[in-house]
Amino acid sequence: MPTAVYRAYLRAVRRLPVRYLRQFFAVRARTDLDAVVATPEPALRARKLADVARRVRRLQRATDGDDKAFNRILALAYGRTGKLRWELLFPVRTDPTTSPAPIIRGVPSSAPAPYSPELRTLLTTPLPHTKPLTPADLKSPRTLPRTADPTSDEAILRGPLSKRREVNIRHRAHDAALRRVAPPLELAVRPAPDEPAVIPGPSALAAFRADDAIYPRPLAMQGLGLMRDIEELVGGTIHAAPPLTKRERRAAKISPAPNTAAPRHPQRWVRRRYRLLLAQLPQLTYDATSARFSAQISPLALTHDHRVSHYNPPIDPVSLAWLESAPEEPQKSKQPRSPRAPSAESAAPSSHTPSPPASTPLAAASRSTASEQSKRGTSRV
């Protein structure tokens, strides 16, 4: 049974459209099946095998064009969820330059968890799919009551907050912040303000550090080129200008240029899935001049406010010549209408009063009927 599941796993992996996905899930398939085989208890082994079979079915749905399943395997392969996500967060969780004092005297584990400069930048920068925090939230969590300050009026009236409770609140706030942050894959460095950012390898980052400095430090996937591969797969330009036709090139006397477009994936569905993934991959950049970090999203990402884009290509010389040579049509000016003069009959005042309407036979009959009914009523009385 595990052999059949493993073969189905590999068949689904071979159908994945990107080489990195095939490599990642091939290793994952071997790891999953090794864990199944190494389990001695039959009941637990059967449950693990059922979990592996469910992952195989998800891969099959992803390769068949299921959006939700494909987004899930992208999130697993690029560390948006699962075990890889915490491995990507590990380099930015600690700050060796600071050591906060413990809240409870004599208990070193009561010291609040520090926020590294990379983590502060990721938490306080407004990015898609995340709600930014303020520097005040990192210093004092919103869930921390006012009685934590012994000089506050609440602490004077109700008593100070328990130190153990303050330790627990701060640790929970730090864990919640780690769950909401999207870990970056690689660190980019901007050598000068007027130069573009580059992604150096782990050993090349040492050239941007000062003497005995720790930052910038490499991230978990530094130098693998994953961000470059994703942007090349999506395409260098989302809305490229259409090429000139043969007649336009002949009129403008332009020789046909060779095809220098960046290679991209041929399937638009795959490119769109990766553009959605780019919205969850923040690019962390270190400015060597100011020694500060910044975070931004790739311009190729597809966010919720970028669902529909319109591109107007620049006008070519031939079309511009046609527009300039076209005769201008005279525009009809709309003149305001003059008020209509009143006629002599309507303007002349009426010299007689209107006469009452003539009596009709129906009206006379109704009057006679009413008079007869009134006489009957009088006679009865």
Residue ending a domain, choose from 149, 180, 211 = 180
Residue ending a domain, choose from 180, 206, 228 = 180
Residues 109 and 176 in one domain: yes
pTM (global) more than 0.85: no
C-alpha to C-alpha distance for 223 and 199, rounded to whole angstroms: 7
C-alpha to C-alpha distance for 18 and 271, rounded to whole angstroms: 11
Is residue 230 assigned to a domain? no
C-alpha to C-alpha distance for 156 and 147, rounded to whole angstroms: 8
Is residue 116 assigned to a domain? yes
Express as a percent the part of the chain with pLDDT over 70. Answer: 79
pLDDT digits (tens, 9 = 90+) for 86-116: 999 999 998 888 888 999 999 999 999 999 9
Helices (H), 15-41: 19-37
User: What is the number of domains present in the chain?
Assistant: 2
Is residue 312 assigned to a domain? no
* Domain housing 119: 98-180
Query: What is the model's pLDDT at position 315?
Result: 78
pLDDT digits (tens, 9 = 90+) for 29-59: 999 999 999 999 999 999 999 999 999 999 9
Is residue 35 assigned to a domain? yes
| Closest to 78 measured CA to CA, from 275, 239, 265, 277 | 277
C-alpha to C-alpha distance for 11 and 5, rounded to whole angstroms: 10
Residues 110 and 163 in one domain: yes
Is residue 330 assigned to a domain? no
Is residue 162 assigned to a domain? yes
Is residue 27 assigned to a domain? yes
Residue ending a domain, choose from 42, 77, 112 = 77
Segments of the chain with pLDDT less than 50: 307-310, 347, 350-351, 353, 357-359, 361-362, 378-381
C-alpha to C-alpha distance for 143 and 286, rounded to whole angstroms: 32
